[in-house]
Structures are given as C-alpha cells and as structure tokens.
Structure 1
Amino acid sequence: MSDEVDWNSVWDQSIVGSEPPPELRGVNPEDVKSIIYLTDGAPEGLSNSLSQFSGSHKLGLFAASTPFVTGRSVTLFLNDEICDSGAVGLALKQEASCGLRFHGMEPLAEPMIVSQSEGNLVILLDNKTPTQLLLSAIKQKGINLQTPDYEEFCLASIHDHEPKQMFSILSGDPSRGTIALQSNSSPPSGSRVQFFYRPKTTTAEVAATLSRGTFSFTTVPEALLGHNAEEEVADLELPDSFLAGSEKGFLVSRGKETPWTCSIPGSSAVLHWST
C-alpha cells in the first residue's frame, strides 16, 4: 500500500469535493439562513457541498423506506416529479435558531477528552481504551447487560456542560479497546465527550409539543414503526408548526459545523423562527 495516501484526508468528511445542487449555484451564501431537505440514504456529497453556506443551519431528514408501499427504496416528490434517489429541499432567507433534544438520555460517566479518533472509531479517551471505560461505567451504574435494562448507549460531544452532538455506539472491540459510532466521523482529538444511556424504563417519545413557528425532524422509535394504524390514538395538534419523523434519523450542520447524523430514537432537531 502506498505511503503517499493521506488517510487524514480520506477520513475527513468535512472536505468539500462537490458543487451544491444546480438550484443553489449562483446564490449568495450570505442570503441563505436555513436549508431544509429530505434525502435518500447517501447524502454525504450533498451535505458536504452545503458547507459553503456557513452562515446557515442545514437540517436533513432521511426519507423513510417505501419498497412495500411504492416499489421504490424511498419516495421523494419534486413538484410533479417522483424520485427514488437524491434529495429535495428548501433554502430559506429568514433567520432561525436551531436546537437539539435527546429525550430520556442520562449521563453514564464523567466527561472525558478524546485522545485519538479516526473515521467513526474512537480509539483513546483520556489516553485509555474507550471500551474498558464504557464497561467500567456500566458496572458502576449497576446496569445489567444480560437482562438488559437499557435501551441505548451513546457518546456525546459536550459544550458548555450540555450535549452538542450525540452518536449511537454501534459496537466495541474488547481486544483493541475501540468503539464504533453510527456516524461518518467521530469527535476529533481534544473534544470533550461523555457517555450517555437510556434506561429501559424511559420511553423514547416523539415530540408531543412544539412552539409556534418551528420546523422539526425527529428519529422515530422502532416501537412506533409497528403501530397498527387502525388503533385509536389521540389527535396531536401542532399549530403553526411542522413535524416529520424517520426511523433512519436526521442530519445536522449548524453554521460551520461538520455535518453529522443523529439516529438516536426520540431525539429531534428543531428550527425556530421568531414571529
């Protein structure tokens, strides 16, 4: 294998390697304050190309799978056209704030510093193996891995004592000590991070209340995917608001933030416009 390969560049998902969609070419990035889009399962090129709109919040939702509904992997609508790949969206000029909610997630350990990471792998935390740190935190918390009495383990990047990003932990390698995150990239070295988990007694919920003038994407818990549509459910009224959900999660990029994926059930991203 050639020694000339720059693996840092290969793993760096923030590198912009493509032009934005034709509809956005020629648009002054300073005029765009928010970008909202629905996408298929491969949004990396699009999300990276939108990084030139560094003054805007970019919020994308993975389209739900529809092979048994429409015969397409996903079903997107652009005016009178039906698409089964790509993305559709809006670029808005009005100023908006962007907030994240991680319903039911509780801290599992004290914050740590990322010593080494690569791609979606976290290799060292506080110069120790993250797998052993996670297992130690689970043991100290008294969590039963056999029952189990937990729903989700996550790693969050911390800013001002609050989670700024939160990633599902896909797996851990006890022999190497690394953990893999459900993301294209992991928090870089020097980042302040913290383990979180959701107790099984805490149900992941879809946002039931939203302020007026909000636009929200949420990750739908798997328990709701098998819900019988014929069952009677209470009406949910969201005046002057929009809420959409997907079991695959959503993408976020606030300003110059590197795009990242949140697939934690019950989590949501909210754009709010002042009225």
Structure 2
Amino acid sequence: MIRAQTVVARTPSALLTSLDRFRLQSKSKGGTLLFALSAPSDALSVITSHLQSHFPRHIGCLSSPLPAYYPHIMCAVALLDGITFRSTIAGRADPQVGRWHAARRSSIQQPPTAQSNIFEKFNGDLNRVNWEDIWDRSAMSAQNMMPVELRTARPEDVTSILYFSDRAPEGIAKALKATFPHSHELGFLASSTPFITGRPVTLFHDGKIYSDGAIGVALQLSLGHPSLKVEFPGLVDLTPDLQITSSEGNLILTVDNGNPTRLLLAAMNKHGLDVRGVLLKDDEFYVGVMGDGKVDRLHRITSGDPSRGTIALGTMSAPPPGSIIRMLYLPQRDEVNLNSGPTHENTSISFIATPDSFGDGRPSSVLENDVLVIDGIFIAGSENGFMLRRGAKEEGWTCTLPGGQASLRWT
C-alpha cells in the first residue's frame, strides 16, 4: 500500500480540487490508482476523465452512495504497487430456490452462453446436471483461463488480491483460489448502473470501460502481510449454536438431525416475530457460521419449506455437515450505521454492502465544508455486496448484509 483516502464532496469541482491535491502529494510514488466513485450521472464524465488523464494506470468502478453521506459525491482512491489484471472468466447465475432437489431428477437449466467456454468440454446430459460437480470439474479450466498478467506470479509472493467484479464473481474467485490458495481475496461487486451508464456494471481499466468480468490487482510481499476482517452489525440471534447434520448444494437439509425450517419458525415465534411466512418482507434472516465464538461467515436465507424442512441459502454451497451455526435476523432499520472513520496509523481498504434504497435523501453526516477527506482509508459501498476469502481455510463467499463490512488492513 502506498496511500489511500476517501473524499466526500458537495460539488464536482470541490472533489476534483481534492483529487488534484492527492495526485500532487503522490506524484513521485508511482503505482496504480484504485478508485470507486459514486456521483450523479451528469458529473460522471468530467470526474472519470479527470481521473483517467492524471492516472493512466488505473482500476476503478462505479459504486453506490454510503447512507451517512448520501446524496453527496464520494470517491475512494488508493495508490498500490502490484500486478494488475483483467478477467473474462464467467461466473454463475443467481441460485434458484429448490434447484438442488430438482437436479436429482431432471433439470432444464442450461449454462449461460457466457459460460460456454467453461462447459464446452462436458459431454454429459445437460438435462441431468449436478452443477457443483461440474463447477469443480471446471476448476482446472478456470485456472487455465487465468488472466495472462498473473500467470508468471509466484503464489508464495502474492499475499492478497483485490478486484472489482460484475455480479457473478464465482469464476475468477475459483481460479484465484486454485492458483493462489494461501492469499487473501477481497472482491467488490460493483454497483448496478443500467439507469446511470446503460451498463449492468461500469468498470474502468487503463482507459477502457467494461460491462462485465473483473479487474484487479495482486499485492505482493513487499507491501507486508495484511489482515482481512469482516463485521456484521445489527444482527440479532434467534437460536443458540446448532450443528448442521446434512446439507447439499445451497440447501441445509437437517440441523441437529431435525427440521431446520420448523426450528426457524419456532425461534421466530419465541422472539415475537410474524410466522405467517417463513420470510418477512421487511426483515432479513441469515445463517451465521461460527468460529471462535462469533459469526465468521454469513449466508442469507432465501426460502424455507416446513414440510420438507430444507432451508435454501443465497450461496452456491451451504456449510458442510459438522458446521456450527446460528440463525439470525436483521430487523428493519431506518439507517445503517457504517464504520467509516479514520483508521489512525493503519491503512486499509474497506468494502461495504449498502441498502438497496435510502430514506428521504438527507445525509446523516453534515459536511461543515465543501469537502471531507478521510485519510488513510479507502471505503466504498455497493448494494451488490462483496466477496471474500481468507487464505486456504475457506471458499470464497458473498456478503450482502446491509452494513456488512470487510477490511484489508496493513499494520
């Protein structure tokens, strides 16, 4: 890490003045600019052109506002030394409720066209596909599709990998773990921009703009060993610790050898929650995987079936049997409090999952001047969340909990 800061501004001119100051202070240090920008559509062109002209080597994306500063302009910037890359490895479509039970009998799901390069060597019956098995078989193919810039990097020299991605980062995540198993991996799922730029997401890489795939940077030992931590604010425990006794695909089949959906409904009833539906419209329910007495990994519950007992999660792989979990919920909140303050002596890059919408549009943090500079921290938010993997101990997973935050920090 060379330098990082986050700038909040009332106007485009105030932001550009601050970014010019950042450039002058960093002029002799070189490196690649990492940026995430949240701004009105009529200001995007002048700001992104300014960034690209002054930092020809750059990786960036459009992000969503942070609730504390909405609707001000916000731009996070960092200068990094590392190996930059562009990936076109396809990911997967969103999980479908109950698809794992259906796949045992017959599935009509076809692989997306963009994934044809992953599946072209599979000659089996596509109407009877175990998708997790096929994805595992494709790991070597994904590794062979590794961005050319990373193919000569020695795995032992790469401590962490940062990337901006479309909403399907599974392909690049699988390839990165296969090639750099011991590195930390932190991916930012760029904000959706169809009504802003006409693109699903908007990614910037060395003067080019992309609508899919991923762009990123691999950080090496010369920067030191960072830590990767995640926070889940606002969650309320519904159950004590439980053990998963069977799971398959994205489904939890049994918990403590019992019916997990009925257990969830009983816990909701005990806490005075409406049990007329498995999920409440204004509340979100989660399964937290425990580690060292705290939630270490989080998956949103997307549906439950009281008769079968299964609970479907918004992930490609449910926690395996033997995992200790808790069921939790996030009450409806008018405001999401985010930890976006200075980090003192620690430089960090933080990604935050933001709400899909913001109350009345009034910022909760009033700017005393035209610009606020948070030094030492790169902080960006997206309603699509982030993906992370901490070394070889886990698979990559996505967090969309509003207010959930992952931080890569150098000490």
Q: TM-score, normalised by structure 2?
A: 0.61
Tell me the distance in 1 between the aligned counterparts of 2:194 and 2:258: 44
8 Å CA contact 1:150–1:199 kept in 2: the answer is: yes
* Deviation of the 1:54 alpha carbon: 1.8
Check 1:136–1:145 CA distance in 2 against 1; reply closer, same or farther (3 A cut): closer
Whether 1:58 and 2:185 are equivalent positions in the alignment is yes
Query: Following superposition of structure 1 onto structure 2, how do residues 136-215 of structure 1 map, counting pairs within 5 Å?
Result: 136-145=266-275, 151-200=283-332, 203-211=335-343, 212-215=346-349
User: Relative to total residues, which structure has the larger helix share, 1 or 2?
Assistant: 2
Aligned length: 272
Moved more, 251-260 or 205-214: 205-214
1:100 Cα deviation (Å)? 0.6
Aligned to 2:384: 248
Q: 1:246 to 1:59 in 2, by over 3 A?
A: same
CA contact (8 A) 2:353 2:384 kept: yes
Please state whether the residue corresponding to 1:18 is helix, strand or coil. helix
User: What is the Cα deviation at residue 145 of structure 1?
Assistant: 4.6
SS at 1:132's partner residue? helix
Structure 2 distance, partners of 1:157, 1:32, is 27
| CA positional deviation for 1:197 | 1.3
Higher alpha-carbon Rg: 2
Contact 1:205 1:221 in 2 (8 A): no
Change (3 A) 1:89 1:227: farther
- Over aligned residues, Cα RMSD in angstroms? 2.7
> Counterpart of 1:270?
407
Report if aligned partners of 1:155, 1:168 keep a CA contact under 8 Å in 2.
yes
- Per the alignment, in what secondary structure is the counterpart of residue 186 of structure 1? coil
2:133 is matched with which residue: 9, 15, 19? Answer: 9
Instruction: Check the 8 A contact 1:109/1:196 in 2, yes or no.
Output: yes
Distance 1:146 1:9, change over 3 A: closer
SS of residue in 1 equivalent to 2:283: strand
3-state DSSP class of the match of 2:262?
A: helix
Give the corresponding residue for 1:88. Answer: 215
State the partner residue of 2:154.
Answer: 28
- Going from structure 1 to structure 2, the CA distance change for 1:106 and 1:50 (only over 3 Å counts) comes to same
1:17 CA drift (Å): 4.0
Report what 2:356 is aligned to.
Answer: 222
Instruction: Give the corresponding residue for 1:39.
Output: 165
Q: CA deviation at 1:70?
A: 1.2
Deviation readout 1:33-68 (Å, 9 max, x if unpaired): 110100012211100000021221100011111111
Provide the identity percentage: 40
Residue 15 and residue 108 in structure 1: after superposition, are their counterparts in 2 closer, same or farther (change >3 A)?
Answer: farther
* Deviation, structure 1 residue 98: 0.6
1:234 aligns with 2:366: yes
Normalized against structure 1, the TM-score is what?
Answer: 0.89
Deviations 1:164-204 (A, max 9, x none): 10111111112211111111111011111111112335843
Once the two structures are TM-superposed, the CA of residue 251 in structure 1 deviates from its matched residue by 0.4
Alignment of 1:68-107 (within 5 A): 68-93=195-220, 94=223, 95-107=225-237
Contact 1:157 1:191 in 2 (8 A): yes
Whether the 8 Å CA contact 2:389–2:395 is kept in 1: the answer is yes
Structure 2, unpaired ranges of 5+: 1-105, 107-123
> 3-state SS of the aligned residue for 1:244?
strand
Structure 1 residues 210 and 188, CA gap change in structure 2 (3 angstroms): farther
Gaps of 5+ in 1: none
User: 2: distance between equivalents of 1:151 and 1:6?
Assistant: 32
CA distance in 2, matches of 1:252, 1:17: 22
User: Which residue of 233, 253, 257 maps to 1:127?
Assistant: 257
CA distance in structure 2 between the aligned counterparts of 1:86 and 1:187, rounded to whole angstroms: 27
Question: Is 1:18 aligned to 2:155, yes or no?
Answer: no
Q: Deviations over 1:210-234 (max 9, x none)?
A: 524010011001233x6648x6852
